[in-house]
Amino acid sequence: MSSFSPTLSSSSCYYFLFLMIAAHRQRGTLYSNFDQTLPSALITVALALGLQLMTAASGKESHVMETDWLLRFLCPSKALEEASPVLLQVLNLSSNSFTGPFPSLGSLAGFLTAINASNNGFFGLFPSSICGLSPLLRTMDLSHNQFSLDIPPGLGSCLLLTEFQAGNNNLSGPIPQDLFDMTSTHLLSLPFNQLSGNIDGTLITKLTNLAFLDLSNNQLSGELPASISQMPSLEQLLLNGNQLRGVLPPELANCTKLKILNLRFNNLSGELAAVNFSGLSNLNMLDLGNNEFTGDIPASLYSLKSLKALRLAKNYLKGEIAPAIVELQALTYLSLSADGLTNITTTLQILKDCKNLTAIILSKNFNKEAIPTNTEWADRYFQNLQVLGLGGCQLTGQVPLWLSNLSNLLALDLSENQLTGPVPTWLGSLPYLFYLDLSGNLLSGEIPPEITVLHALTMDHFESRINQGILQFPVFIKPANGSGLQYNQLTELPPAIYLQNNTLHGMILPQIGQLKNLHVLDLSHNNLSGNIPVELCNLTNLEKLDLSTNHLNGEIPSTLNSLHFLALFNVANNNLEGPIPSGGQFDLFPLSSYEGNPRLCGAILLKHCSNHSGNEDPPTTKHMNKKVLIGMAFAICFGGAFILIMSAFTILYIVKAQQRKYARTNKVKFIETSVSSFTNVPSGDSILVMVPNHGDSAKKNLSMSDILKATGNFDKENIIGSGGFGMVYKATAPDGSKLAIKRLSSEMCLMEREFRAEVEALSRAQHKNLVSLQGYCMHGSSWLLIYSYMENSSLDYWLHEMANSGLMLDWPTRLKIARGTSQGICYIHETCQPHIVHRDIKSSNILLDEHFEARVADFGLSRLILPYNTHVTTELVGTLGYIPPEYGQTWVATLRGDIYSFGVVLLELLTGRRPVELFKPKESAELVAWVKQMRYQGRQDQIFDLQLKGKGFDEQMLKVLEIACMCVNENPLKRPTIRDVVAWLEKISADFQTK
């Protein structure tokens, strides 16, 4: 970020630019600096060198190599002014990282025939004036930028324009009237904006050459104009994702060249059969899903011999599928879910003759009918079927045998029915099946071993073979968790086995550990018994494991903490016992994951594991007691028992005496935290220390009794957080003020003298952006840390838990939180002595006070653990999604590692997404990888939280995005210091305030 004086001559500058553009064309992998803009002179210089910025590079995804940022320092302005003008016809700036308002092209614009500046970060008003300067312009692509507000007048001057693309911006207001003056246009694309108002039925008829019209995912309202039928060249009409209402105009049938019609997700209504579709003989795809159409499926649809995909799902249709549908021999995709259909037997009897069908989605129809068992279908029909969705129909009978011959089946959903009998053994013979949902039925028997050899889930290189094309699969799928969220429209199905909510019994087969590609395993709400197989730790891709509400016993295998992608784990309501595993993802699972297992123990349950067996002796103790008895018997038999016993007592007395002497000499007490009740500890054993610079007199006079009362004797109702170090409780002091009490985990063994020294050192770390320590308490075998209570919880809570509540953090507040967090980290990294590596910077460790000022929490706690405790070197080096890549090799926490974690927090602030999102495809599940991929594709505009877009802060957010990406650089040495980050964020904030 340092600056330097321009020193190059004009010729040197030109040569330098040549090298820069050559690097851009050939390598194209480096990101631009966050303050990069594109001056008009850059184009002039490039052309003066005889370079064409666009020749045949259309479609290449590349990033310019900080060209402009360096030019502004290296090239004298006079050198740029002396560049010779040339006749520029084609200008391609696509797939770079240019920002700022679109540049004025000046004299270069006069002969332009093509402009492509898509996939950049240009913002401000849309440059409609280009049309007045470039009368020869034929193609213009400014999509995937940040242009906002209403489209200014001027587009009507592009009389020769044939292709106009400006989708994926923040454009708002009505469709400008002069856009309809572009009568030569055959492609008009403005999707994913915020355009509003009606589609003018009179003006649109002027576009007689239009073949492709995409206005999808805007806010258009009103009725679909019947005059669209007067556009004789129209082949693709995409108006999905708007607020259109009224009936489907019958005149639409006159668009005889129409190939794709997508009106999904609108408010269209009326009798669908009123439209005669038979004139649309070239139609390939028809999507009218998620509207309010009524009546029968139009018979005229069955005459569309070219139709490949038909979706009428989620309307108010009724009746049956007519036999005439077999005329649609090109049909590959059919979705009629939630349409009130009846007679499943007849429906499948008819559809079996549609030989090219690969996906049949009929979920939430055929209420309580019997599922057909026609075994004669097995050999000849549905041979190309890949996806079958019959969930939520309440069908009766057994899982039909004819499904066993669907050799190409990938996904089978029979959930939420009333099917009985066993889970079929033949499921294991389906070579490509990777998604199975039989949940919510009445299935009985044991889990068949055959299901553990599903080839698609055991093979080395799993890839989904589903060809989704334009349409997503609306498979009805059970909620993934207790939040009620569902996968109703999936872009990709996760490899999964759902068998929950049945009456299955027997053991969980250890062979399930062979299904290494499995992402979801849900066996909850059955009658399964036995142990949890330790082999489940081999399911390294597992993201959800739910075994709750069964009759499982034994311990939870500790090796499950090696499942690094596990985001949901539930074993509640079983008969499990012993310690809950610690480390890995197990430090994040809530208390509800374990409730209903009275013999479990561990820090999260506030139950010490040495007593987990109740009044019974542990098995090891029983075994040892037997050995003792046998030994005594032998001793008595040989007459030496008395001598042996007396010798043992003598040795024991000597050892105890030496221990007492050592304790008096060293005056050090070895303390192991316990979860036994505080009320059992004498008050004389308490040490309560309040930090002098914190606390009024009332808090200085706190007693251990006050803390017990304030937390309800550490009642579970007062838990406000948990983590690798222990539980955090809300406490209300006698004066009415609130405190946060952290009770250290029972796994930590600490020396009292060292503990007090470290805590008192931490208490000296005082900064407005830290949750500073107010005091500490050692009460018997339990140790407490006392902090200020933060009224507004954590950043994680506001970004993720409150996302759908209507309350949100606006961008100025998010930027303030980013600045405050960076300042707190800067203090512990560079100011306080000794410097502190946080180790676990994440949004849940950034607390917010009553003014939404950021306070960094949990800093320095790793110093309280003994050096040889493995909990320090591995489990507490970070949280999944925030862990720097280098930690996977060394597990040594560093300052640069903290920078990476803070970069992830910045990305959370910008996107509103979690660092790792459950069940998303691999390429988008991890936030850092997803952001880098989106930037590489030039799709920065799609990175930001939708709640922040169009609010006038796009320039700031782009700059913060650049900072975040520098922080998450895979090379630790290329990450900035926290002092640099603080300075950059301060500059961004200051620049905005001066505008």
- Cα 11 to Cα 19: distance, rounded to the nearest angstrom: 13
Over 90: is that where the pLDDT of 744 sits? Answer: no
- Cα 752 to Cα 494: distance, rounded to the nearest angstrom: 50
Least confident segment among 201-210, 497-506, 586-595, 716-725: 716-725
227-286 pLDDT tens trace: 998 999 999 999 999 999 999 999 988 899 999 999 999 999 999 988 899 999 999 999
Least confident segment among 251-260, 352-361, 780-789, 960-969: 780-789
Average the pLDDT over 886-896 and give the result: 69
pLDDT band at 995 (very low <50, low <70, confident <90, very high): low
514 or 694: which carries more pLDDT confidence?
514
Over 60: is that where the pLDDT of 953 sits? Answer: yes
Over 80: is that where the pLDDT of 2 sits? Answer: no
- Cα 706 to Cα 701: distance, rounded to the nearest angstrom: 9
Over 90: is that where the pLDDT of 445 sits? Answer: yes
Q: Which of 10-19, 509-518, 931-940 has the highest mean pLDDT?
A: 509-518
212 or 646: which carries more pLDDT confidence?
212
Q: Which two tokens stand for residue 893?
A: 């926490």
477-505 pLDDT tens trace: 333 333 222 222 233 578 999 999 999 99
Average the pLDDT over 447-465 and give the result: 82
Beta bridge partners of 261: 237, 286
Q: Report the percentage of the chain scoring pLDDT > 70.
A: 72
81: left (phi over 0), alpha (psi -120 to 50) or beta: alpha
- To the question of whether residue 742 is assigned a binding role by annotation, the answer is yes
Over 60: is that where the pLDDT of 40 sits? Answer: no
Average the pLDDT over 670-692 and give the result: 41
Q: Which CATH class is domain 792-995?
A: mainly alpha
664-677 pLDDT tens trace: 333 222 222 222 23
Three-state DSSP string of 825-855: HHHHHHHCCCCCCCCCCCHHHEEECCCCCEE
pLDDT number for residue 844? 87
Q: Phi first, then psi: what are they for 561, rounded to 5°?
A: -70, -5
Of the candidates 174, 140, 144, the one whose C-alpha atom is nearest the C-alpha of residue 158 is 140
- Cα 287 to Cα 313: distance, rounded to the nearest angstrom: 9
- Going from N- to C-terminal start, the domains of the chain cover 1-86, 378-601, 668-789, 792-995
Average the pLDDT over 874-886 and give the result: 67
- Cα 517 to Cα 497: distance, rounded to the nearest angstrom: 11
Beta bridge partners of 311: 287, 335
pLDDT band at 324 (very low <50, low <70, confident <90, very high): very high
Over 50: is that where the pLDDT of 461 sits? Answer: yes
pLDDT band at 686 (very low <50, low <70, confident <90, very high): low
Of the candidates 886, 857, 967, 873, the one whose C-alpha atom is nearest the C-alpha of residue 34 is 967
User: Residue 908 in 3-state DSSP?
Assistant: helix
Of the candidates 243, 242, 236, 248, the one whose C-alpha atom is nearest the C-alpha of residue 272 is 248
How distant is the alpha carbon of residue 191 from its chain centre?
Answer: 24
- Cα 915 to Cα 613: distance, rounded to the nearest angstrom: 39
Q: Phi first, then psi: what are they for 616, rounded to 5°?
A: -85, 150
Over 80: is that where the pLDDT of 716 sits? Answer: no
pLDDT number for residue 714? 77
Over 50: is that where the pLDDT of 62 sits? Answer: no
User: Residue 206 in 3-state DSSP?
Assistant: helix
Least confident segment among 337-346, 621-630, 736-745, 846-855: 621-630
- Cα 487 to Cα 476: distance, rounded to the nearest angstrom: 7
Scanning the structure block, which residue is given the tokens 């053994």?
A: 425
pTM value is 0.63
6-31 pLDDT tens trace: 333 433 443 344 334 333 333 332 22
CATH architecture of 668-789: 2-Layer Sandwich (3.30)
Beta bridge partners of 529: 507, 551
pLDDT number for residue 14? 37
**CA angle 701–706–710, rounded 5-degree value:** 130
615 or 962: which carries more pLDDT confidence?
962
Average the pLDDT over 404-420 and give the result: 93
pLDDT mean across residues, the chain: 77
Q: Which two tokens stand for residue 755?
A: 């503990």
Q: Which CATH class is domain 378-601?
A: alpha beta
Q: Which of 472-476, 532-536, 664-668 has the highest mean pLDDT?
A: 532-536
pLDDT number for residue 854? 94
Over 90: is that where the pLDDT of 204 sits? Answer: yes
Least confident segment among 499-513, 587-601, 868-882: 868-882
549-576 pLDDT tens trace: 999 999 999 999 888 778 789 999 999 9
pLDDT number for residue 962? 93
Scanning 90-212, the segments in alpha helix (DSSP H) are 130-133
Q: Which two tokens stand for residue 451?
A: 């299901």
Going by DSSP bridges, is the β-strand pair 212-214/236-238 parallel, antiparallel, or unpaired? parallel
pLDDT number for residue 629? 42
Contacts of 259 (CB under 8 A, 6+ apart): 235, 236, 282, 283, 284, 285, 306
pLDDT band at 806 (very low <50, low <70, confident <90, very high): low
Q: Which two tokens stand for residue 763?
A: 């208490």
Residues acting as catalytic residues:
840
782 or 723: which carries more pLDDT confidence?
782
- Cα 144 to Cα 94: distance, rounded to the nearest angstrom: 10
